[in-house]
Structure 1
């Protein structure tokens, strides 16, 4: 496809007429409406669009997917990896790791039709659709990575997933751990004394499940560039672990395959305004005849390997069914 055919939609904002695609986050400080994807591995897609309007997602059909989804980790290997992470926790090397796997299937359809179906069957607060040369994403993300209005910023990490509105001590401890991590990340870019947690351990209802969430807010220091802000915050704490640098190393060693835009960041930046989601509950394609979907769980010392596997199944079941064309 041509750059000019690119399209982005999020929060009823429709962007067309892409005139520039950059791999350099420094370009985000240039004026204009920038669509941003940062993969979990740190690759950048920065696309500048000139036509932005309030409009619904364009309509497109979806035929459903036939065939079997293949997982990057079997249940046996995933549960063995949970045991391995718990051994590292016991040694004091890490405290928490988000362990993920990727489901893949054959697909030669545009994901725009799937994005329409997700809007209907699994509405999400940070849903989006993006089509660029070599990358297409249909997102039903429930998680806010960063909202910016002037110098005010907010992040709302999710830690805790359940079928019912009832969370155990493991979920609560994990959520508080990630809040502390995000407060520390905010400390590098925010004015002293400005960081607050106005909402802690709140339950949110989403289609088919409940999430435990918290809000972290702050006021940016003067003259912070977008590159400085994003370098301090990426990758998101909720999908990496703590300490973040150690968790990223463990993820690379254990998962072995790349996550790509899954667990990355998807959204838009326009001067000192921004809305960026965490790339969870997303389908993506490199326009190579494959569709991908990621799912994961946070591993702590309290984790039960089978329960963590079941959490990844819970997070995937509804959305995979939608992609398959099964009514939910």
Structure 2
């Protein structure tokens, strides 16, 4: 059995931008707030962090800044994925050198590949570093699924430690095939309790950008045996979860953060401002949850 990376809620942190670059002062404030609120781990430069619109130099600067700011207080997961294996290796090695605790690496999108190609892609990345590797398996984003049989093969590689999984039916099969050799974290805020019940260790959460304490409490309650408290948070967050995904992530996330006074700034093109209807739904959900 491999060592567990963390148990709890990992915020998929939105990167605060100005019109000209990253707002590092605000990024520091957000990190400090998350640590104070009980967030168990912080994902830097993931999908919600808009890594896809960051040049490598900026991507690396953000990771270096976050690692130094967090300073080992919570687990740091660094986004290091690419659909170019060589590029993914370069980013992964940088993240390791910068001091990240683990890397999150995405399935190759656009060019796609076969299941054997997925195995070889992730194997090469894992063998290029010593820190734990977390696989990003979100087919709605990449149009490519890592099959359970492939995950079983990958779980046999020493430092492939976990997978961000969004499919509950597949998750059960992965647990059946991999046992304790691969940790699973929910990639869907709406499926946290069911995945924990199957054996998951936590969630990589978008909702934690606005309710970090409650996302931490949801997972904590489960592991403390308080299923009623865990279930209540899961159900109470449904309207908020729906609103936060009413348009492409992180458009509603940043809109919510800005409404709450966090000054997360704009999204970068091709992502645009939230629509009027989306904003109305978001405001209703935020008010209903007592956030604005």
TM-score computed with the length of structure 2 as normaliser:
0.25
- Which has the larger share of strand? 1
Q: Rg bigger for which structure?
A: 1
TM-score computed with the length of structure 1 as normaliser:
0.23
- Which has the larger share of helix? 2
More relative contact order, 1 or 2 (CA 8 Å, 6+ apart): 1
